[in-house]
Amino acid sequence: MTTTPPNSTADKILQGDLRAISRAITAIENHSPGSEQLLKQLFPYTGHAYLTGITGAPGTGKSTIVDRLAAVHRKRNEPVGIVAVDPTSPYTGGAILGDRIRMQGHASDNGIFIRSMATRGFLGGLARSTAEVALLLDAAGKRQVLIETVGVGQDEIDIVRLADCVLVVLVPGLGDDIQNMKAGLMEIGDIFVLNKADREGADRLEEQLHAMLSLVMPRDGWHPPVVRTVATENRGIEDLASTIAKFRKHFESSGQRQQKQIDHWQNRLLEMLESRLLEKVLHGKSGQARLRAAAEAVASRQLDPFSAVSQLLNDCE
Ligand SMILES: Nc1nc2c(ncn2[C@@H]2O[C@H](COP(=O)(O)OP(=O)(O)OP(=O)(O)O)[C@@H](O)[C@H]2O)c(=O)[nH]1
Ligand SMILES: [Mg+2]
């Protein structure tokens, strides 16, 4: 295995140095060139973290669930990394999550690292930055990485897709709209969390959910279950944690883990290739200008779009 020089940034991250981790995340968010080098050094030390993605509509209780799950992991002495990603706003979810967790007294706990991310880099690479931050936390020894993202759109689906296990959080009283729920969300949910089960309408929502889930084909022998929680009262959280563990075991024992990993990396490589290629073509002012000029030529029918793309590709060689 590769070794990193003592006291290098990589070495500090491997030892779980919180400041070094924090700085590296900023570098990742800014897509600064050093971050790629760092991730290259750290990659051999990754592959040990379990990534749980938590998504759902605003205010459904995701942060409260994350906080409670983190407490369960900490009780077992597992180091935890938490990333709160909010593609819609630079401040809301993440900052609130951080405050809540600090309030609950994880602050003095070195085994837990919390960070919020919202900045959308060049070419909208929020999913990519999240994936890189997850790798970093993995290298830093966080055996459990929790990724919270607010919303139910394509951005969030892209973000949670990188997780090993995806929790979709629903609550009663948001209207009877699970019919309207994005089909994509139904497909990515490995476990459905019916939170705020203390509220009226929980039974009905559960029935509806089961009815909908019965139409979804089980993936690799797994039928997504529904777990009821009242996160604020810590009810159902142990059950949720053991359902996640069951899911994990299901994939490990069925021998599909390796397959899942390969599928995962195939998607990731494709995304990296895409963004690398785009960066290459659109790099700097001249790249943007070339794109604009090509668009003008196509719009005025001086050039066909196929030739324009070939030209743009040739120009950056
Ligand atoms: N009654 C009830 N309230 C809850 C429950 N879980 C969370 N809440 C409350 O719901 C509100 C929103 O909780 P959060 O955990 O911030 O929800 P969130 O999904 O992270 O919110 P965003 O990140 O802003 O989308 C808070 O006031 C919580 O106290 C629950 O099980 N029952
Ligand atoms: Mg939140």
CA-nearest residue for atom 17, ligand 1, is 61
Ligand 1 neighbourhood includes 201 CB (under 6 angstroms): no
Ligand 1 neighbourhood includes 90 CB (under 6 angstroms): no
Report CA(86)–ligand 2 centroid distance (Å): 9
What is the atom index within ligand 1 of the atom nearest the CA of 57? 25
Report CA(295)–ligand 1 centroid distance (Å): 47
- Which residue from 169, 171, 235, 166 is spatially nearest to 205, judged by alpha carbons? 171
- Which residue from 310, 315, 317 is spatially nearest to 286, judged by alpha carbons? 315
Residue 28: half-sphere exposure toward Cβ, Cα within 13 Å: 26
What is the atom index within ligand 1 of the atom nearest the CA of 56? 19
Least confident piece of the model among 55-64, 70-79, 150-159: 150-159
Taking only the tens place, the pLDDT of each residue in 133-186 is 999 999 999 999 999 987 667 777 777 778 999 999 999 987 656 655 656 677
Tokens of 224: 């997504």
Residue 94 — pLDDT band, cuts 50, 70, 90?
A: very low
- Tell me what the pLDDT averaged over the chain comes to: 85
For residue 263, the model assigns a pLDDT of 85
Spatial separation of the C-alpha atoms in residues 124 and 281, rounded to whole Å: 16
In this model, does residue 90 exceed pLDDT 60?
no
Report CA(107)–ligand 2 centroid distance (Å): 17
What does the pLDDT average to over 83-102? 58
Ligand 1 neighbourhood includes 98 CB (under 6 angstroms): no
For residue 243, the model assigns a pLDDT of 98
Report CA(62)–ligand 2 centroid distance (Å): 5
144-150 and 191-194: which strand pairing?
unpaired
